[in-house]
Structure formats: C-alpha cells, structure tokens
C-alpha cells in the first residue's frame, strides 16, 4: 500500500517562465503560461501537466500553455499531445499551443511591430537563432520606444530576455535595450539626457518647440559620438539645423543601430526639417 496523502511536505520549487492573466469583457478570462523550450525534454510532460492543474486549482479559471521554440524539431515535438495514464487509457492529456520559426513570420517593420507588440516579441524569440534575428530585435526595440510607455517597455524587454535564453542574440538584445532606455526614458544620468533637459529649459525662454529641438539634436549628436559613429560635417549641420521634433525622434530611433550618421536620413519621414 502507498499512503493516500498527496500533500507535499517538502516544498519543491517550480517556476513558469512567464504567467499572464488575460481578461475578457464578459468573463473572468484565462491564464496563459508561457514556456521557452530549447530542446526535447521527456520530463516536461509531467511538469506542464502539473503547472496547468495547479493554476486551475488555485485561480479557478481556465489555464492554457504556450510553448515558444527556436527550431522546428523542438517545435514539432512540443506540440504533443503528452498523455499520462496506463496503456490506452489516458488520465491526463496536455496539448500545448506552440510557436516557432516555422509558424511565426519575421517582423522587421516597426509600424507592424507597434500594432502587435506581443506577436513581434514572439517573432524576436522564435527567430533568435536565425541570421535575420538581430533585425527583428532592432525593430522591436524601435516599436517599444515609440510607445512612450515605460511599463510596456519593461514588460516586453523582460519577456524577450527570458525567451531568448543563453544565446548570442540575448547579448545583442540587452545592448539594444540599454541604448533605447537612455534615449526614451530619462533618469540614466547620461550626457545626452543632460543636453536634452537643457534644451527643455531653454525652450521655456525661446519657444518650447525650438528649445526641445535643440536639445534633441544635441543629444542625438552626443549619442552618436558615444557609439563612435562617424559624423561628417554635412550630417552634423543637418542634424543641428533640424527643428522638426518628429524627424528628430525618427533619427534618435535609428541612432540605435546605424553604422554611419548619413544612414539616419534613409527613409526619412515626410516632415520639414527646418
């Protein structure tokens, strides 16, 4: 005989990579457990079954499992279903939703990424090992910065950071995030930020828009210099003379990744620069 007591007397640490509660207007919504899976793992069937059972028991609402993979082999395996029981009698069956490079497109358009940040984040994670992976990360950083929402920014950068795992793309992602935070979110104490704030103050006396433009232009030049990006005189003059805030914001976004200052002006927005 085996004791019928299923109480866990010794706590066993179990952690889901990401857990979201999705609310619906006409109900309690559901829980979405997100797991990043990088290889086949025969122990996952029991773990995933436990996660879903525990979440349903604790919160009393439906729980779903989303598995994020970075290669097709793992993606095909993760689709399951994973059955637990005896012979042909299934006691529990786990059916994960799976996203991977085979069913998620590469999103490299910032406007498209901004319209669906969650999908863009999955694109960045699933294609983390792909040759075009860095372009997707750069696109997502741009889209996150343009939201102007620090909470959204923090949520998605952490989601992607956890999903990428220990691969080279994670280092590139963290570098991009650090530079983006310096540009979009003050408080870092950088020289670029000081110049921007000086422009804000000067704008009180000389016209707010003009002062902001000057501060942004100086911050952009300093940021490019800190990245050791070549800045020819023609590019420096064009940046300094620009008074259109939308154009300067566009250039600040591109400054995260350009290799030469002249690259800022490719695909420039249709606004007057002076």
pLDDT in tens, 159-185: 898 888 888 999 988 888 877 776 655
What was the pLDDT predicted at 177?
83
CA 247 to chain centroid: 24
Q: Count Cβ atoms below 10 Å from residue 220 Cβ, excluding itself.
A: 26
Whether 169 and 212 map to the same domain: the answer is no
Q: Considering the domain boundaries, does residue 60 fall inside one?
A: yes
Whether 223 and 251 map to the same domain: the answer is yes
Among residues 123, 158, 184, the one where a domain terminates is 184
Whether 89 and 135 map to the same domain: the answer is no
pLDDT digits (tens, 9 = 90+) for 53-84: 999 999 999 999 999 999 999 999 999 999 98
Q: Considering the domain boundaries, does residue 143 fall inside one?
A: yes
Supply the pTM of this predicted model: 0.63
Helix (H) or strand (E) holding 34: strand 27-37
Least confident span in 64-78, 108-122, 211-225, 260-274: 260-274
- Cβ-based burial of 15 (10 A; exposed 0-12, middle 13-18, buried ≥19): exposed
Q: Considering the domain boundaries, does residue 200 fall inside one?
A: yes
Provide the residue range defining the domain that includes 60.
18-99
Q: Considering the domain boundaries, does residue 223 fall inside one?
A: yes
CB 184 within 8 A of CB 151: no
Helix residue ranges per DSSP H, 130-167: 133-147, 150-164
CB 206 within 8 A of CB 217: no
Cα 36 to Cα 41, 90, 171, distances in angstroms: 12, 26, 17
Whether 80 and 140 map to the same domain: the answer is no
What was the pLDDT predicted at 201?
54
Long-range pairs, 263-268, Cβ under 8 A, ≥24: 264/235, 264/239, 265/235, 265/238
Given a cut of 60, whether residue 204 has pLDDT beyond it is no
Given a cut of 70, whether residue 1 has pLDDT beyond it is no
Among residues 132, 156, 184, the one where a domain terminates is 184
Q: Considering the domain boundaries, does residue 33 fall inside one?
A: yes
Supply the Cα-derived Rg of the chain in whole angstroms. Answer: 24
Q: Considering the domain boundaries, does residue 7 fall inside one?
A: no
Least confident span in 79-83, 136-140, 174-178, 233-237: 174-178
Among residues 99, 133, 161, the one where a domain terminates is 99
Whether 199 and 171 map to the same domain: the answer is no
**Residue bearing the bigger pLDDT, 40 or 6:** 40
Into how many domains does the chain fold? 3
Whether 207 and 180 map to the same domain: the answer is no
């Amino acid at each position: 005989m085996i004791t019928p007591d299923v109480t866990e007397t010794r706590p066993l640490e179990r952690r889901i990579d990401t857990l979201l509660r999705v609310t619906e207007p006409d109900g309690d919504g559901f829980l979405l457990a997100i797991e990043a899976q990088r290889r086949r793992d025969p122990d996952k069937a029991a773990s995933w079954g436990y996660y879903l059972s525990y979440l349903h028991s604790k919160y009393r609402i439906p729980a779903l499992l989303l598995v994020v993979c970075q290669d097709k082999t793992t993606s095909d395996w993760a689709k399951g279903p994973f059955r637990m029981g005896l012979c042909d009698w299934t006691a529990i069956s786990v059916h994960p939703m799976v996203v991977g490079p085979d069913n998620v497109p590469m999103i490299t358009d910032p406007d498209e990424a901004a319209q669906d940040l969650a999908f863009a984040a999955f694109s960045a994670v699933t294609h983390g090992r792909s040759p075009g992976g860095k372009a997707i990360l750069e696109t997502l950083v741009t889209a996150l910065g343009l939201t102007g929402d620090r909470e959204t920014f923090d949520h998605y950068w952490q989601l992607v950071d956890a999903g990428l795992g220990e691969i080279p793309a994670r280092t590139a992602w963290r570098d991009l995030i650090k530079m983006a935070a310096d540009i979009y979110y003050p408080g870092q104490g950088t020289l670029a930020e000081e110049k921007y704030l000086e422009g804000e103050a000067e704008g009180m006396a000389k016209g707010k828009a003009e002062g902001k433009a000057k501060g942004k232009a100086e911050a952009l030049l300093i940021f490019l210099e800190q990245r050791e990006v070549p800045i020819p005189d023609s590019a420096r003059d064009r940046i300094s003379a620009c008074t259109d805030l939308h154009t300067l914001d566009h250039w600040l976004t591109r400054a995260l990744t350009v290799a030469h200052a002249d690259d800022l002006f490719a695909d420039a927005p249709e606004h007057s620069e002076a």
